[in-house]
Amino acid sequence: MGGATGVHIPDGFVSVGTAAAAYVGSAGAVAYSVRRVNRELHERQVPMMGVMAAFVFAAQMINFTVAAGTSGHLLGGALLGILLGPWAGTVVLTAVLAVQAFLFQDGGLMALGANVLNIAVIGVWGGYGLYRLVRAAAPGPRGLWAAGFLAAWGSVMLASLACAAELAISGTSPWRLVLPAMAGVHALIGIGEGLITTGVLAFLAATRKDLLSLRRATAEGAR
């Protein structure tokens, strides 16, 4: 289960019932996110969504070595949630996953609902929630780095645990094997995700600090 496809499920790994349930859950979450984006979208956020979609799409193609025989790649859920908010982050990451599945066969079409649920919904919403919790406790500049790292690490862990549950429910691998395997590998992959996310936030803080406050300005404009 380790490697770059650990959370990105290919076809044949989840049962028809699990895939159908995941499609229903992810479709509802994405539809709700689209409604929220349409209601709250700020004109400054539109180009940022396009830029971040291109960045995450390209970054997911680059693997980094985690351990012997194991590699990972950026998921981007926490980063998108931090910069765009959870609703726009879900919409952007869903589009990225759909393009990868339909055009590049990266992740199966049958498993697309599960991939969207794990990465674009649970990963984004969970990462954003962790970020807000840490920032509430540590609002200063150093808190930004800590919040970004922990949110990214946590988003990978949440996505991997959801993936493990789907594989176990599908009968692909028993709970006693898939849960510790996924959790162990992705605890390491999450460190890489955290470092990349923190690096991007540090770069934006040094060059385009206004982008870090874009989410707050958008939320205030919607109220």
pLDDT at 8: 81
pLDDT at 212: 75
Most distant CA pair in the chain, distance = 50
pLDDT at 223: 40
- Report the relative pairing of strands 63-67 and 70-73 from DSSP bridges: antiparallel
Q: At what angle do helices 214-222 and 77-84 cross, to 10 degrees?
A: 50
pLDDT at 209: 80
pLDDT at 48: 86
pLDDT at 79: 95
Q: What percentage of the chain exceeds 90 in pLDDT?
A: 53
Domains for the chain: give ranges and CATH numbers: 16-222 (1.10.1760.20)
* Cα separation, 85 vs 211, whole angstroms: 12
Q: At residue 218, does pLDDT exceed 60?
A: no
Return the structure tokens found at 205: 């803080």
Task: Provide mean pLDDT across the span 183-203.
Answer: 90
What confidence tens digit (pLDDT) does each residue in 42-70 have?
777 788 899 999 999 888 877 666 554 55
What confidence tens digit (pLDDT) does each residue in 85-121 have?
999 999 999 999 999 888 877 777 899 999 999 999 9
**pTM score of the predicted model:** 0.87
pLDDT at 221: 39
Task: Provide mean pLDDT across the span 189-213.
Answer: 87
Instruction: Determine which of 39-43, 110-114, 186-190 has the lowest per-residue pLDDT on average.
Output: 39-43
H or E element, residue 194: helix 175-207
117 CA to centre of own chain: 10
